């Protein structure tokens, strides 16, 4: 006796929203969506598992498990969270190019699993810290201009705004140490179906469909991260060749002018040029992280269980993917 196989095909409907940007199209579709704001960009895309092409459709065939890639790429993007979620319609018989409400495989027979870990790459944060700076002035004449008798003399400047600095985490395996913390896919069944324009049995008032997150990201506000970031910024400041490599000369002179209003512009420039500097980074707060960059990848698997006794046929359904961020 020959075994009986039920073929299950899956067509993608991509509905994606990023901030105030929206794109929607029926049937198979390119799923890359880009939002640009604040000088940066965020790109959300669904890809095949090899990351070689946009995900346009999935054919379960006889395997009944279909992995795919969800990818979000930030380039100096605002400190905004994102959520990529999915809903699933029922599976309907697809006969002679048309949907039918004959035998239906319920959406509850489809589920998301997540056997693989998240992956991240190209992570960095743009940080603008405040520095407490001590200028060491070895020139006696300059010290005299500051009405200081000792030589060398020192000048203490507080709350000086540094340039924006790019900070790259040393450990990408510790997700809690990243400027934006990604989250794994939610797992479980699509208990309540979604309905789309393709659904042949949409009720007058559709119930709220089950929504599962495929990938999330949230700005890291945790105290341990901010403490570690302060240390990383201090390392960058300590490694600078000179103070004007991390603080613009204009900013430094303005701070000096605030401390000694009587100084002439010429003396201010001479002091900055002659002085050595020791800089201490004040504790970083979340508002000083101007933007982040990085690529975040999850690998959800869409699974289907075909009920015993299902008609031998091709079935089609629609995965509705929404990205907000």
Per-residue pLDDT reduced to its tens digit, 205-226: 999 999 999 999 999 999 999 9
Residues 16 and 97 in one domain: yes
In a domain, 2, yes or no: no
Continuous H helices in 240-291: 249-259, 265-274
Residues 19 and 150 in one domain: no
Residues 52 and 134 in one domain: no
In a domain, 1, yes or no: no
Residues 236 and 95 in one domain: no
Residue 314: pLDDT band with limits 50, 70, 90 = confident
Residues 66 and 192 in one domain: yes
Q: Are 79 and 126 in contact (CB under 8 A)?
A: no
Total count of domains within the chain? 2
pLDDT of the residue at 63: 84
Q: Lowest-pLDDT range, 51-55, 92-96, 112-116, 177-181?
A: 92-96
Q: Are 247 and 160 in contact (CB under 8 A)?
A: yes
Residues 110 and 229 in one domain: no
Residues 149 and 12 in one domain: no
Burial of 36 (0-12, 13-18, 19+ CB in 10 A): middle
Q: Please determine, for residue 51, whether its predicted confidence score (pLDDT) is greater than 50.
A: yes
Q: Please determine, for residue 231, whether its predicted confidence score (pLDDT) is greater than 70.
A: yes
d(CA 119, CA 91): 31
Mean pLDDT across 238-266: 93
For the chain, percent of residues with pLDDT exceeding 70: 88
pLDDT of the residue at 325: 79
pLDDT of the residue at 23: 31
Q: Please determine, for residue 26, whether its predicted confidence score (pLDDT) is greater than 50.
A: no
Q: Which residues contact 314 (CB under 8 A, 6 or more apart)?
A: 7, 8, 9, 93, 94, 95
d(CA 299, CA 48): 10
> Domain range spanning residue 137?
126-166+224-288
Q: Please determine, for residue 233, whether its predicted confidence score (pLDDT) is greater than 80.
A: yes
């Amino acid at each position: 006796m020959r075994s009986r196989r039920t073929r299950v095909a899956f067509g993608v409907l991509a509905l994606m929203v990023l901030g105030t940007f929206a794109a929607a199209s029926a049937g198979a579709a390119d799923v890359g969506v880009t939002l640009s704001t604040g000088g940066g960009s965020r790109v959300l895309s669904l890809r095949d598992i090899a990351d070689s092409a946009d995900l346009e459709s999935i054919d379960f065939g006889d395997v009944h498990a279909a992995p795919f890639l969800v990818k979000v790429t930030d380039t100096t993007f605002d400190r905004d969270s994102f959520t990529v979620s999915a809903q699933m319609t029922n599976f309907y018989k697809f006969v002679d190019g048309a949907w039918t409400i004959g035998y239906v495989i319920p959406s509850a027979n489809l589920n998301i699993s997540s056997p693989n870990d998240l992956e991240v790459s190209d992570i960095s944060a743009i940080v603008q810290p405040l520095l407490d700076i001590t200028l060491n002035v070895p020139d006696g004449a300059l010290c005299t201009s500051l009405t200081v008798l000792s030589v060398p003399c020192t000048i203490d400047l507080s709350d000086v705004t540094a340039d924006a600095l790019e900070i790259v985490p040393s450990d990408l395996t510790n997700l809690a140490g990243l400027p934006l913390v990604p989250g794994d896919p939610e797992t479980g069944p699509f208990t309540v179906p979604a309905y789309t324009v393709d659904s042949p049995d949409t009720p007058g008032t559709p119930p709220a469909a089950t929504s599962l997150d495929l990938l999330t990201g949230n700005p890291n506000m945790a105290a341990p991260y901010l403490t570690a970031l302060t240390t990383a910024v201090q390392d960058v400041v300590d490694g600078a060749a000179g103070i004007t490599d991390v603080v613009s000369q204009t900013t430094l002179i303005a701070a000096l002018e605030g401390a000694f209003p009587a100084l002439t512009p010429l003396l201010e420039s001479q002091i900055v040029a002659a002085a050595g500097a020791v800089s201490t980074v004040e504790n970083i707060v979340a508002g000083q992280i101007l933007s982040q960059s990085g690529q975040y990848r999850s690998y959800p698997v869409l699974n289907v269980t075909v009920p015993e006794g299902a008609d031998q046929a091709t079935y089609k359904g629609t995965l509705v993917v929404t990205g907000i961020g």
